[in-house]
Structure 1
Amino acid sequence: MYDVLQETIEELTADDQMFAISEAEVRGQTLKVWTHAPANLREFWLSTAGHDDKDYLVYNDERLTYTQAHEKVARIANWLRANGIKEGDRIAIAMRNYPEWMLSYWAIACVGAVSVGVNAWWVADELQYGLEDSNTKMLICDQERLDRLTPIRDALPDMQVVTVRCAETPAWAAPWETVVAAPAEMPDAQIDPDDDVCIFYTSGTTGRPKGAQLTHRSCANNIVSTIFGNLSQVTAVGKLRAAADPDAQPTPPPEQQASIIAAPLFHVTTNNCGAQVQTFLGGKLVHMYKWDAGEALRIVEAEKITSFSSVPIMTREMIAHPDYAKRDTSSLQMFGGGGAPVQPDLVDKVAKKGRNASPAQGYGLTETSGIVAASFGIFLEDKPGAAGRFVPVFDVRAVDTEGNPLPAGEVGEICIRGPQVIKGYLNRPDATAETIVDGWLHTGDIGYVDEDNFIFLVDRAKDMVLRGGENVYCSEVEVALFKFPGVKECAVFSVPDDRLGEEVGAAIVPEEGATFTAAEVRAFCKDHLAAYKIPRYIWITDTPLPRNATGKFLKRELQSTLDVDDAE
């Protein structure tokens, strides 16, 4: 079957095909790129106007067509330009998954400005850091983020603010209604493919998140890569099924592609690989205010959702929900996940219970602007432990500790080179130089590449917890814990969790004479960390934590010896 997949890839990437591959100079490197990828996201967005009266953005009873969305984006872009926004200026978006998120994103891209995707979980201290680090000129926020901004407003006196769905807009901000009242005239913009289009923050090992600089080229290539990763395997699966049963009738295409926007839009999984790809296809994006598996199943039935791809726990909860058997999910063609590994048992569950849907997963990073590899249907079932086959504009290899490439099947650090690799980390030249070496992105993921060009991950070199698709870097949590009075030692590590994959655990040694409870520690953390970063499992012990010869805590020893039943 893998020879059929390779044959399909070669056919689809031929010089006269939509997925032709060529070479381009990208910031001093000669890289493979998708020949027909848009030059920038302004060009991409404008090209989608032809989807006309198809539904585009749906939220509760609100519904916008592509024509209506294009009019609003033009109005927003015009207002931004009239209010001093120039190419390269940074505008932060801080809100739930409202339709205004994507409308703002496209308008910002169209004027050549840069979207800063603010993590909606951030507390005031984290929000201030992100806005200052990115030198944000304007913030577009909803009521919850406005409430967090208000106490720190004096620290950001020159930043313009736009409010979305707020009960009352303060005098120092502009309401959304004013923005969309501007004339529907799209202003001009001069945009280079390697200009920044977006900054997404990814947690850093130094205790503060790093702003990853995604470019127009990297995002445009990711749109094509995501479509290719799925289409190449869907096409190969179709060939294999036709060969096995020549009389079988192919499944007719849906009237319109449709997806649920469930995970946050400040992630590349949802934004770049979900929303942007569906926009290219003329698909419908159905936004959820917050995650609820039962509500998601209702939406699948009501809106004829064709693909659901989010963090795997959401797929798991939908299949396990008591309403799953009652709802019509026959429109689903793909049921999968990204942003975290899809466990083999979940692949099997989707294959058996997914009705018309096939299991799927993608592997990528913020640092690759989205997808690197994909696995679908029988390929995922045959290699359930694989992250996916990497798309052909990437070069991927495993290297040893000295950076030497390893043969197929040998385990090392996964390194990636291609047009989707970020420009770097904002204001972090040292971190950029450490992560991107001679054009190769060092992912920190430990694994191997097999003879079929599928990536397998076996471990993570980076010290982090992957909690329901959210990266929680242990050092950031440790920094917060050490601020708590009376903490002598602490080590933060991952604890396996059936629902979220991993949870945050912390072992704490108090100073002599200090006494406190886990509840007091968590209450303290609420002012210093987003809720998902606060340790669920806390062990408070008088025994010094185990260390190696260099003084580093032996976290694997803690993971193997501490019993979750003993945690507070």
Structure 2
Amino acid sequence: MHISQIVFRAAQQRGTAEAIEYQGNVRNWTQTEQRMCAMAGALAQQGLGINDKVAILSLNSDVYLESLFAIPHMGGVMVPLNTRWALPEFQYPLSDSDSKGLLFDSNFIAVVEQLRSEDTAIEHYFYMGAAEDCPAWAQCLESLMQEAEPLLDSVLADRELAGIFYTGGTTGYPKGVMQSHVALFTSGLSLAAASNADENRTVLHCAPMFHMADLATVFMYSILGSKHVIVPAFEPLAVIDAIAELGVSDTLMVPAMLQMMLDHPEFDAGKLQGLKALLYGASPMPEGLLRKILTTLPNLEITQAYGQTEMAPLITILSAEDHRAAIRGDEKSARLLRSAGKSGYSVQIKTVDEQGKTLPLGSVGEICTRGPNAMSGYWNKPEQTAAALKDNWVHTGDAGYIDEEGYLFIVDRVKDMIVTGGENVFSSEVESALSTHPAVAQVAVVGIPHDDWGEAVHAIVVARPGVACTEADIIAHAREKIAHYKCPKSVSFRDEPLPHSGAGKVLKRELRAPYWEGRERQVN
């Protein structure tokens, strides 16, 4: 089960069918297969080989999608980088993964040029654009592909590492989630099996391709032999126009994207009538937004996927049928909107207590999951791997319960994590950045409810005596250290020290409580 088999099969069965459309360029599945083999051959010709790590720093593009197959095809390990990171945040994953190659596009020339002076293992810089725009210190990937001997055969078995995907870390550093070929393949298969999609669908990629959620749809729709339409990044009008003009039937978005699209002053519901299926995830869908979508597009199939990078990412699915039953049915059915759905094909779920004992149905505990799509562990982090992966069960850090029908309900988080606009933010990363401000004596970061983003990052600061400091100062300092989406949206100051447990741990639940008062669950 090597993921390049997905492209070989699609080319064999649907060779002349359109596979990828990006900025007016259209390629069929045979051409996509040829380019995958050419890119793999070009990377191998430069000396990259089995288990070598190749990072990707680019907005969405046709070449990005091809690289997701080509790097593993030549035996390498892909390392997609979050395009929203601040410059200082790139060095750690590049060094930690020991990446030998870096693919980048025109949007990140200046960033990569600065990274060249940092202490990393990168030996090859591959430019994902036209030869005339390629920096002198890089190699043009397209030129190398034209000259290389295509690599026709995959070189690794299915249990080998296919990718390392960096996610927030509880120690202030991101963790590299190791995923095998079989894990990525299985997650794509499970999504395909849970949908009504087929080879005649056209999927729009407007969520970032570095994110595991969109990556899963790359594999899902490629398994089906469907067509991929790609836009560089999410922009409401560009997405609306792509759906209207390019025959898009399916897409994945996080609720915050949907809210921005529907609230845009130039929103035109008529342009979305061809949309058949919407997959959303990363955060729950507000009921008001869901009803607005179904009123605007009454025939749209809406499906929720709950997952984590550690599960590549699929854990549960709340089906389109469940959504319609919840909207149209009685109170018993309406409760489904508060659910994350049922476990996906090949996935098993349970809840456990603090001692790791399996709890009965209806009992709240930490959600654990296992299946062939589970991670192999965290790269270079044996202790964190041992804590998260026990007896092949991934401990999610989310708290919830499973009802008698198998529906999972998430009620809180065990991990110190905030989910804002579909992005995971670990409080410790933000606290680490804010602690370097000269006015900050103590700081705690928590998630608070937000209508548009689900949750917002909020900092609670105890200032040093006699040092002047404002909310704007704290936020500006954070923006110099970490990605903007991780930065506090608001800051509150307190005179008394932060509350601590007997073991010396900051009592985050006590700090969060006033913001979540009166709510049924402590996540949004």
2:347 pairs, out of 390, 394, 399, with: 394
Using the alignment, how far apart are the partners of 1:426 and 1:548 within structure 2?
Answer: 32
2:423 pairs, out of 470, 478, 487, with: 470
Q: Which residue of 2 aligns with 1:237?
A: none
Q: Which residue of 2 aligns with 1:328?
A: 271
Q: Which residue of 2 aligns with 1:146?
A: 109
Matched, 1:488 2:450: no
Q: How much has 1:353 moved relative to structure 2?
A: 2.6
One-letter amino acid of the structure 2 residue matched with residue 192 of structure 1 = A
Matched, 1:132 2:132: no
Structure 1 segments unaligned to the other structure (5+ residues) = 1-38, 232-252, 564-568
Using the alignment, how far apart are the partners of 1:326 and 1:450 within structure 2?
Answer: 37
Matches for 1:289-300 after TM superposition, within 5 Å: 289-300=232-243
Q: Provide Cα deviations, 1:285-312, integer angstroms capped at 9, x if missing partner.
A: 2222222222212211112221222212
Mean Cα displacement is larger for which, 551-560 or 41-50?
A: 551-560
Matches for 1:39-188 after TM superposition, within 5 Å: 39-49=1-11, 50-154=13-117, 155-156=119-120, 158-165=122-129, 168-183=133-148, 185-188=150-153
Using the alignment, how far apart are the partners of 2:352 and 2:403 within structure 1?
Answer: 14
Closer/same/farther in 2, CA of residues 177 and 309 from structure 1, 3 Å limit: closer
Using the alignment, how far apart are the partners of 1:293 and 1:300 within structure 2?
Answer: 11
Q: Provide Cα deviations, 1:367-406, integer angstroms capped at 9, x if missing partner.
A: 0112121112231323111101112422211111111111
Closer/same/farther in 2, CA of residues 378 and 105 from structure 1, 3 Å limit: closer
Matches for 1:394-543 after TM superposition, within 5 Å: 394-543=347-496
Using the alignment, how far apart are the partners of 1:178 and 1:396 within structure 2?
Answer: 48
Q: How much has 1:315 moved relative to structure 2?
A: 2.3
One-letter amino acid of the structure 1 residue matched with residue 225 of structure 2 = G
Using the alignment, how far apart are the partners of 2:477 and 2:204 within structure 1?
Answer: 35
- Equivalent residues of 1:75, 1:186 under 8 A apart: yes
Q: Which residue of 1 aligns with 2:520?
A: none
- Equivalent residues of 1:329, 1:355 under 8 A apart: no
Q: Provide Cα deviations, 1:486-544, integer angstroms capped at 9, x if missing partner.
A: 21011101121111111111011111121122322223222310111111101233333
Q: Which residue of 2 aligns with 1:309?
A: 252
Using the alignment, how far apart are the partners of 2:297 and 2:478 within structure 1?
Answer: 40
Q: Which residue of 1 aligns with 2:173?
A: 208
Q: Provide Cα deviations, 1:207-234, integer angstroms capped at 9, x if missing partner.
A: 1100000100111111111112224xxx
Q: Provide Cα deviations, 1:56-107, integer angstroms capped at 9, x if missing partner.
A: 2222222222222222212111111111111111100111112111111111
Q: Provide Cα deviations, 1:320-377, integer angstroms capped at 9, x if missing partner.
A: 4444444232222222411222233333333333232122111111001121211122
Q: Which residue of 2 aligns with 1:276?
A: 219
Using the alignment, how far apart are the partners of 1:479 and 1:41 within structure 2?
Answer: 38
Closer/same/farther in 2, CA of residues 127 and 291 from structure 1, 3 Å limit: same
Q: Which residue of 2 aligns with 1:263?
A: 207
Using the alignment, how far apart are the partners of 1:393 and 1:65 within structure 2?
Answer: 31
Q: Which residue of 2 aligns with 1:6?
A: none
Using the alignment, how far apart are the partners of 1:397 and 1:562 within structure 2?
Answer: 29
1:384 alignment partner, SS class? helix
Structure 2 segments unaligned to the other structure (5+ residues) = 327-332, 517-524
One-letter amino acid of the structure 1 residue matched with residue 302 of structure 2 = P
One-letter amino acid of the structure 2 residue matched with residue 163 of structure 1 = Y
Q: Provide Cα deviations, 1:391-448, integer angstroms capped at 9, x if missing partner.
A: 2422211111111111112111111111110000000000001000011111111111
- Equivalent residues of 2:278, 2:300 under 8 A apart: yes
Using the alignment, how far apart are the partners of 1:435 and 1:264 within structure 2?
Answer: 26
Matched, 1:346 2:289: yes
Closer/same/farther in 2, CA of residues 217 and 158 from structure 1, 3 Å limit: closer
Matched, 1:227 2:170: no
Q: Provide Cα deviations, 1:541-562, integer angstroms capped at 9, x if missing partner.
A: 3333333333333333333447
- Equivalent residues of 1:331, 1:356 under 8 A apart: no
- Equivalent residues of 1:229, 1:373 under 8 A apart: no
- Equivalent residues of 1:373, 1:389 under 8 A apart: yes
Using the alignment, how far apart are the partners of 2:317 and 2:237 within structure 1?
Answer: 27
One-letter amino acid of the structure 1 residue matched with residue 351 of structure 2 = A
Q: Which residue of 1 aligns with 2:315?
A: 372
Using the alignment, how far apart are the partners of 2:495 and 2:182 within structure 1?
Answer: 54
- Equivalent residues of 1:265, 1:271 under 8 A apart: yes
Q: Which residue of 2 aligns with 1:238?
A: none
Mean Cα displacement is larger for which, 524-533 or 460-469?
A: 524-533
Q: How much has 1:147 moved relative to structure 2?
A: 1.4
Closer/same/farther in 2, CA of residues 184 and 58 from structure 1, 3 Å limit: farther
One-letter amino acid of the structure 2 residue matched with residue 88 of structure 1 = N
Mean Cα displacement is larger for which, 370-379 or 253-262?
A: 253-262
- Equivalent residues of 1:335, 1:357 under 8 A apart: yes
Q: Which residue of 2 aligns with 1:15?
A: none
- Equivalent residues of 1:222, 1:420 under 8 A apart: yes
1:526 alignment partner, SS class? helix
Using the alignment, how far apart are the partners of 2:106 and 2:493 within structure 1?
Answer: 38
Identity of aligned residues (%): 31
Closer/same/farther in 2, CA of residues 392 and 78 from structure 1, 3 Å limit: closer
Closer/same/farther in 2, CA of residues 409 and 562 from structure 1, 3 Å limit: closer
Q: Provide Cα deviations, 1:445-504, integer angstroms capped at 9, x if missing partner.
A: 111112222211111111111011100100010001111112101110112111111111
Mean Cα displacement is larger for which, 93-102 or 64-73?
A: 64-73
Mean Cα displacement is larger for which, 406-415 or 347-356?
A: 347-356
One-letter amino acid of the structure 1 residue matched with residue 292 of structure 2 = K
Using the alignment, how far apart are the partners of 2:244 and 2:385 within structure 1?
Answer: 45
Closer/same/farther in 2, CA of residues 291 and 522 from structure 1, 3 Å limit: same
Query: Aligned residues, how many?
Result: 503
- Equivalent residues of 1:230, 1:374 under 8 A apart: no
- Equivalent residues of 1:116, 1:200 under 8 A apart: yes
Closer/same/farther in 2, CA of residues 202 and 255 from structure 1, 3 Å limit: closer
TM-score normalised by structure 1 residue count: 0.84
Q: CA RMSD in A?
A: 2.1
One-letter amino acid of the structure 1 residue matched with residue 249 of structure 2 = T
1:359 pairs, out of 291, 299, 302, with: 302
